[in-house]
Structure 1
Amino acid sequence: MKLNLLALLPFAAAAAQVARAAATPIRRDDWPHGPFYTSGNQIKNANNESVIFVGTNWPGSGESMIPEGIEWRSIADIVSMMKYVGYNFVRHTYAIQMIDQIYENSGTDITVQSALLYALGEENGTKTMEMINKNNPQITNSTTRLEVLSMIAEEEAKQGILMHLDNHISRAIWCCSHDDGNAWFDDMDFNISNWHRGHRYMANWAKNHTNIVSMSLRNELRKSAVKQNLEYNWKTWWGNVSAAAENIHATNPDLLITISGLDYDIDLSALTTQANLLTAPYVNTDMDYPADASSLPEEYAKIEETSFGKAKKAVLEIHAYKQSTYYEDHLEDCDAIQAGLYRFGFNALGESARPEGCTNSTNFSDPYACPPAKLTLPTLLTEFGDAQDAGFANVTMQKCLRDFTTKNKIGWAHWSLAGSYRIRQGLMFNNDTWGLTTPTWDAFQSPETVDDYFRPWIRDMGTTNLEL
């Protein structure tokens, strides 16, 4: 196991200051009333008001490292589409490679034009640049990638929407698989030092935008099929994610930090139940447990002992897809789906979130077992999704997720906004039926799903204090 400890610095005074501010919030009249903090299972703003995130994912971690869709519509139009649905939160994905290139370029970001030519080739890159400039005249050949992201942040702030920075991947490609070299710490393309450096860069960058109140650590950690000697277990996971969270918190103590789990982020159970990291159960049996675990001192993931935990900045995040391990075996069983959600991490919300179909079993293989958590934290559903068509509302998985999140006021962000990608898995102008928009981003792919499913769902969630 490799840990990068360069960011583990003594920031107790800063943490204590933030904790005091959380205990006695200073009333702020300027939206979004930050910084945010956690209180039990809720996220609160500086006015001590609970805030529920509801939104979508806006991919920007593909080969060009530029948010998708701006070649088809203006930034303002795209944000207005999200505002119409009712979103107050957008999870923006980025690649660490973007920051690596900035350092390789003597601290200067790459222009949009250069990024497009590199990713798409001269003909398609030139054509795409012309399309972007036509729909967004403020983006010229000299505009950089992060300047575009700033334009988006400013427009989202103008329309009352929060920007969440999500480190999706290290090498900019379509995510995610076991064999993409980005799966696990120290994988072929997952350089831990560069990961920490990228976090610091983006956490500093976020200080320029008041609507950025949160930031993630990593998307969908998973076992590597490329470097099979890496230790895939809870101990390695906690050592690395806690170091990364301390690194971000030391850089920008105002940010909430979302923590993702194992097996494509469906499992955080060892953390929430405070199980011994050396022997804790796991949804997938392919775990590298220490051979002598029974003779070793027990180890635990104790968020309450970290600087970011003491400052009330830790938030959990979980994904749930039909093809995910566990869920793929229970697609028409809503009780099992919701029990799995609870067992794998939403038990951190407390006993009130315990689904009706749960049993008292402690057997991890029982699909209805719902062990209680030993800590309380806000937990978000930051990825789920399906084809955006008239049948979306009838998919059992989606109905169960809506029911579970509405009852428990769980923040969520579906995958995704993008009806097309300028390049994905080697295919130029790749259309995606799971995207909220049409391939040309000029309308919703399924207006029926937006008007009859997402908008009523959001109204039922009772979002707080983010409407301008």
Structure 2
Amino acid sequence: MKLNLLTLLPLAAAAMQTVKAAATPLRRDDWPHGPFHTEGNQIKNANGEPVILVGTNWPGSGETMIPEGIEFRSIADIVSMMKYVGYNFVRHTYPIQMVDQIYENNGTDITVQSALLYALGEDNGTRIMEMINKNNPQITNSTTRFEVLSMIAEEEKKQGMLMHLDNHISRAIWCCSHDDGNAWFDDVDFNVENWHRGHSYMANWAKKHSNIVSMSLRNELRKSALRPLDYNWQTWWGNVSAAAENIHATNPDLLITISGLDYDIDLSALTTQANLLDAPYVNTDMDKIANAESMPPQYADIANTKFGKANKAVLELHAYKMSTYYQDHLEDCDAIQTGLYRFGFNALGESARPEACNNSTDFADPYSCPSAKITLPTLLTEFGDAQDSSYANVTMQKCLRDFTTKNKIGWAHWALAGSYRIRQNVVFNNDTWGLTTPTWSGYQSQDTVDNFFRPWIQDMGKTNLEL
């Protein structure tokens, strides 16, 4: 066919439009606009907008391995309670044992009924199964645990919340202590191979739900009191980096949150890129590495990992009144905030440096604030206290609110659950730290919700997770 100039002009214009379209990333209009990635100290969605996470923890890592509270309220009602507060992020705790049981059962998940009977016995298990079915008729004797988790994920998506998968523990029990068998890699119940297998299973399962954009490696690593294991920065980084690479290989869309030592208080060796063989540490229980002074230095070189290069690494820290360091500075807001900075929030950069910082290089100085050598988003994924009218006057809670608000730090309060169907061998164990009442019928402190958490979330500004 012979083409003249008039024929070629529209073809050329169309070709230019095609090139332009290919060079311009498509805007994601479907909430939550994933997958997410990191850029500097921010988490960003697929449209390049910074995302701010504000939320709570929904425990599901106890003996039944089913999220708490659904025996008292419908899933939709519980999610609506979180929505009222303003949450957009829910950290769901789970045990590796839940996945182990699937492999032991020829790849088939355990039913909710079987899980309840196994954990609680015939009488209590049957009773709670009936309560769950009454409030959630879609959950029957044949419904599995992961089917329930999917129901929750879909309801959270419907109401504008992300589900974050947090590997809280290996054997399903109340967490955490030095002697629970779940403390450190290769502890009595902490099988590292099963841990990786569990991560892979969860990362694959997450592909079913677009509001799962992140998952954690492990909650509150700590020294084991049951086995003489190498509790140090070197062992930590070897295991953490391998686990993160495994998750990234399974589901490269996910952000991966990395926790530190001593119940996730300290990530300083990573953020300052200190020599892992002799880096300082918040506590005094670290195992020394023999002949470390004669060995070449080792670093947590996160920038050269595959997940790091893909901009999928996020740090997470905890802060409680009973935590090492913080327990000695409960009424000193300056020391609380300099501690947060020193132990890992320095990864946000100099803009997050508290005014109370001095120029000391002594790690033991509470006002010492070493600068980070890496920049990464850092979240406060656990903190809390008794839910009563005095919550807003607790110095530590006020300081955490101030620090996160000023620096737009994502956070998740501990915890949603006002009761546990079983905890430390007590059936229907109530928890004064929970957001809900023991029967999940309301909030333990409406005053705290209305005059502390809701204004705090409003002060965080636009989150780019609004529906």
Alignment TM-score, normalising by the size of structure 2: 0.95
- Percent identical pairs in the alignment equals 85
CA offset at residue 466 of structure 1? 1.2
Return structure 1 stretches of 4+ with deviation > 6 angstroms: none
Q: How far apart in 2 are the matches of 1:383 and 1:24?
A: 39
CA offset at residue 465 of structure 1? 1.9
Q: What are the residue-to-residue correspondences of 1:194-343 with 2, within 5 Å?
A: 194-227=194-227, 229-343=228-342
Spell out, residue by residue over 1:229-258, the C-alpha distance to the aligned partner (whole angstroms, 9 max, x if none): 200000000000000000000000000000
Q: What are the residue-to-residue correspondences of 1:65-464 with 2, within 5 Å?
A: 65-227=65-227, 229-464=228-463
Q: How far apart in 2 are the matches of 1:462 and 1:211?
A: 21
CA offset at residue 27 of structure 1? 1.4
Spell out, residue by residue over 1:58-109, the C-alpha distance to the aligned partner (whole angstroms, 9 max, x if none): 0000000000000000000000000000000000000000000000000000
Residue 264 of structure 1 aligns to a residue whose secondary structure is helix
Question: Which residue is equivalent to 2:55?
Answer: 55
Q: Structure 2 vs 1, CA of residues 328 and 143 (structure 1 numbering), >3 Å: closer, same or farther?
A: same
CA offset at residue 430 of structure 1? 0.2
Spell out, residue by residue over 1:147-203, the C-alpha distance to the aligned partner (whole angstroms, 9 max, x if none): 000000000000010000000000000000000000000000000000000000000
CA contact (8 A) 1:233 1:287 kept: yes
Residue 164 of structure 1 aligns to a residue whose secondary structure is strand
Question: Which residue is equivalent to 2:4?
Answer: none
Q: How far apart in 2 are the matches of 1:81 and 1:288?
A: 44
Once superposed, what is the RMSD of the aligned Cα atoms?
Answer: 0.8
CA offset at residue 385 of structure 1? 0.2
1:55 is matched by which residue type in structure 2? G
Q: How far apart in 2 are the matches of 1:401 and 1:183?
A: 26
Query: Is there any run of 5+ residues in structure 2 with no aligned partner, and where?
Result: 1-22
Alignment TM-score, normalising by the size of structure 1: 0.94
CA offset at residue 339 of structure 1? 0.4
Q: How far apart in 1 are the matches of 2:252 and 2:240?
A: 16
How many aligned positions are there? 445
CA contact (8 A) 1:163 1:212 kept: yes
CA offset at residue 445 of structure 1? 0.6
1:316 is matched by which residue type in structure 2? L
CA offset at residue 463 of structure 1? 3.7
Q: How far apart in 2 are the matches of 1:362 and 1:163?
A: 39
CA offset at residue 467 of structure 1? 1.5
Query: Is there any run of 5+ residues in structure 1 with no aligned partner, and where?
Result: 1-22
Residue 199 of structure 2 aligns to a residue whose secondary structure is helix
CA contact (8 A) 1:361 1:370 kept: yes
1:179 is matched by which residue type in structure 2? D
2:154 is matched by which residue type in structure 1? E
CA contact (8 A) 1:346 1:353 kept: yes
Per mean C-alpha deviation after superposition, the further-off stretch among 178-187 and 457-466 is 457-466
2:31 is matched by which residue type in structure 1? W
Q: How far apart in 2 are the matches of 1:290 and 1:45?
A: 41
Q: How far apart in 1 are the matches of 2:71 and 2:180?
A: 27
Q: How far apart in 1 are the matches of 2:155 and 2:315?
A: 27
CA offset at residue 289 of structure 1? 1.7
Q: How far apart in 2 are the matches of 1:26 and 1:446?
A: 44
CA contact (8 A) 1:381 1:413 kept: yes
Q: How far apart in 1 are the matches of 2:301 and 2:59?
A: 32
Residue 263 of structure 1 aligns to a residue whose secondary structure is helix
1:280 is matched by which residue type in structure 2? A
Spell out, residue by residue over 1:257-303, the C-alpha distance to the aligned partner (whole angstroms, 9 max, x if none): 00000000000000000000001000112111212011001000011
Q: Structure 2 vs 1, CA of residues 332 and 181 (structure 1 numbering), >3 Å: closer, same or farther?
A: same
Question: Which residue is equivalent to 2:64?
Answer: 64
Larger radius of gyration: 2
Residue 57 of structure 2 aligns to a residue whose secondary structure is strand
